[in-house]
Amino acid sequence: EIVLTQSPGTLSLSPGERATLSCRASQSVSSSYLAWYQQKPGQAPRLLIYGASSRATGIPDRFSGSGSGTDFTLTISRLEPEDFAVYYCQQYGSSPTTFGQGTKVEIK
Amino acid sequence: EVQLVESGGGLVQPGRSLRLSCAASGFTFDDYAMHWVRQAPGKGLEWVSGISWNSGSIGYADSVKGRFTISRDNAKNSLYLQMNSLRAEDTALYYCAKGPAAIVIGSWFDPWGQGTLVTVSS
């Protein structure tokens, strides 16, 4: 199965700053079948990005995804207070679908 | 509005069984594959199982294969997970999630229910 490694484990930033989160796959992710989710404490995950770069419905344009092959990035252009959360990547190009271990974006 | 509501979780002894349910509303249930994803306390996400729109294609994580059975009743807009031979490592919050299409493969998950907690302990 494809192993996804997210880095860094924790990102400490201030509101207004830019956040860059990495997701690296152990094998190439076919057709850029990669998604990103946001999870806040006590809440279910929320889909942000699918197909590596397509924003889900209702997701603000400060969230963007990029990458292909084995290297993918989620960028939050300017952090809002509500963006401090844990972010997960998921590959769905190979079975079984797998998730990264998560990156926590915390307030500095 | 799409809504997924899980139920059936609880405290169960190792080796026993539990059946989870997910009630869906706000979309045409039998047009979409459905999935179960779990999250152990303080841990990350793990896909458990998925089922196609007509139950013709089903998949399981290796960690639950042979012990868990996914099913759906399109007439009742409901998804189920029968969990047998439960182990301590099955302790987790179990989420029901909708796929983007009728088939299981190639699925991201949107939206997710709020989850139902399963605790396996003696």
Q: How far is B52 from chain A (nearest CA, A)?
A: 14
Closest C-alpha among A9, A13, A10, A11 to residue A108: A13
Structure tokens at B74: 């399109």
As to burial, measured by CB atoms within 10 angstroms (0-12 exposed, 13-18 middle, 19+ buried), residue B28 is exposed
Q: What is the DSSP string of A36-90?
A: EEEE-TTS--EEEEETTTEEPTT--TTEEEEEETTEEEEEESS--GGG-SEEEEE
User: What is the pLDDT averaged over residues B66-92?
Assistant: 98
User: What is the pLDDT averaged over residues B1-20?
Assistant: 98
Q: Residue A47 forms beta bridges with which residues?
A: A37
Mutation site, B109, B114, B117, interface A, largest A CB count within 10 A: B109
Handedness of CA B78, A56, A77, A31 (dihedral sign): positive
- Condensed to tens digits (0 to 9), the pLDDT of residues A43-102 reads 999 999 999 999 999 999 999 999 999 999 999 999 999 999 999 999 999 999 999 999
